Structure 1
């Protein structure tokens, strides 16, 4: 027969440990369930591509999408030459005109409009042409020749050289020839038309075009450093224009300066689908930069994103908010999640 010795302290300890275990385990389970089911409260949702790792239809990767190549593909769709453009041109000083009268070869003349806006023509003498459209000028010469000198004259005026109205193009242009310089306005001329004349943006051009419209007429281009208080500065998003926003395809005015700055860049590395170098667009945030790089991968810890930024010649790495603006040459790093 075995002897059983009753030990109240030992039995009480066992009962207490068992009770503690039964209380603690459900709490641990609830805590783990909560951690795995909740989202980080301050992390905005990253836009992800429906084509992971692949090019979206109609959207070439950034490495192929520099503004110069994009311009050459799209610009022709936004140029609509008017059949009446030449007739709508307003004559000005220094323009060279060719005037012919049908069946009167002796009246064919090439004339230069003077600084005062006039020129001399056989039979009718001085003609004031400044501010007249080509169509109105033809009507004026016809009126003065008719009856007194010629019965029913058929007058044609052609602009041989456009010299009275011009614009200046500076910066990153000349992607397919030509380049910075002075270009004539041959009537109502759009931004796309002038950029096309200049050869289009280079591969290093940015997406922003700056148009400087001086208040006082200037025979020389005006740089950003020379802009006066009364001068108008217009900024155009060329990429949006080429994508179809024709409201930005402005008509230029005489003595406008069109400036295409060199593109600014940023870099995205780490847990994104398409790491690399990208053009810095206006108002780009860290969140938009990650989206531009294809979005975050499944392993990304987006809320721990860092930026490497140069300050006073030294590169510094620090955490950054997803809503913070991206600066030129920023290196954005999306780390891997621990879980």
Structure 2
């Protein structure tokens, strides 16, 4: 249910933000644009931005547009047309028909992993919504890899805390080239005298008793006495820890349920 609500909420954010910030899209190599000049149908052209960041217009030739918004590119084209004496006070309209330069990769445990264009201002939740939301095996913490000012940074967004507190400050905007990665949810293992031994999802603040419940409960021969957990320490060395029912489990813990002697 939590992930369904997250998907619905993020989808509403995506719907609301796309149109409001469409004018803020930045052009880059590979984008396809359609340009028209009012009253001059012969200047209408649909072209692709070169990898060098230029488009080719009739009369004026190459026009630099990389890194510009649609409005800024329109002004640039209009200036070149007017300065060249081709059109007086030109009214230029530029429409982005295919946005390929500004894409964000959404990977890991999402419904539809892939690369998604960002048509305006988009947040982490917006991109998760476009990717169909976090999958059933996905964890709550999302990692975002961003490159800003030539430096690569890794940031994390805890979607569970974000939704619980309705605090959108951590739902920051993404840019082209960012990578969003949803890791697999933490797991624990349980075996011995339980009904459903195997690998199970580790929920937050999960106790040993809750783990026994997730494992289907004890078999008729099982006992809660003498519960053991195999756990690796910070150096990776395996340790065997005696636990009680209200003790918390850690990721990758292995719970062993003994057989009752009576």
Partner of 1:197: 130
User: Which of 11, 21, 25 is the aligned partner of 1:76?
Assistant: 11
Measure how far apart 1:138 and its partner are: 0.9
Counterpart Cα distance in 2 of 1:285 and 1:205: 17
Counterpart Cα distance in 2 of 1:205 and 1:126: 47
Contact 2:7–2:132 (CA under 8 A) maintained in structure 1? no
The alignment partner of 1:94 has SS state of coil
Partner of 2:174: 252
Larger Cα-atom Rg: 1
Contact 1:305–1:319 (CA under 8 A) maintained in structure 2? no
Partner of 2:243: 319
Partner of 2:106: 169
Counterpart Cα distance in 2 of 1:183 and 1:241: 23
Which structure 2 residue ranges, 5 or more long, are not aligned?
Answer: 191-199, 214-223, 233-237, 258-262
Higher strand share: 2
* Residues 138, 191 of structure 1: alpha-carbon distance in 2 compared, 3 angstrom cutoff: same
User: Which of 96, 117, 120 is the aligned partner of 1:184?
Assistant: 117
The alignment partner of 2:80 has SS state of helix
Contact 1:306–1:317 (CA under 8 A) maintained in structure 2? no
Measure how far apart 1:254 and its partner are: 2.7
User: Which of 203, 215, 229 is the aligned partner of 1:309?
Assistant: 229
* Residues 204, 163 of structure 1: alpha-carbon distance in 2 compared, 3 angstrom cutoff: same
Partner of 1:4: none
Which structure 1 residue ranges, 5 or more long, are not aligned?
Answer: 1-63, 218-229, 269-276, 294-303, 334-339
Contact 2:106–2:179 (CA under 8 A) maintained in structure 1? yes
User: Which of 47, 68, 73 is the aligned partner of 1:111?
Assistant: 47
Counterpart Cα distance in 2 of 1:307 and 1:212: 41
The alignment partner of 1:156 has SS state of strand
If the length of structure 1 is used for normalisation, what is the TM-score? Answer: 0.57
Partner of 2:235: none
User: Which of 242, 247, 252 is the aligned partner of 2:163?
Assistant: 242
Measure how far apart 1:310 and its partner are: 3.9
User: Which of 65, 74, 77 is the aligned partner of 1:138?
Assistant: 74
Partner of 1:155: 92
Q: CA RMSD in A?
A: 3.5
If the length of structure 2 is used for normalisation, what is the TM-score? Answer: 0.72
Instruction: Note the 1:277-288 alignment, pairs <5 A.
Output: 279-281=202-204, 284=205, 286=207
The alignment partner of 1:192 has SS state of helix
- Count of aligned positions: 228
Contact 1:165–1:255 (CA under 8 A) maintained in structure 2? yes
Measure how far apart 1:91 and its partner are: 1.1
Instruction: Note the 1:31-46 alignment, pairs <5 A.
Output: none
Counterpart Cα distance in 1 of 2:89 and 2:125: 41
Contact 2:22–2:121 (CA under 8 A) maintained in structure 1? no
Counterpart Cα distance in 2 of 1:328 and 1:194: 29
Measure how far apart 1:317 and its partner are: 6.9
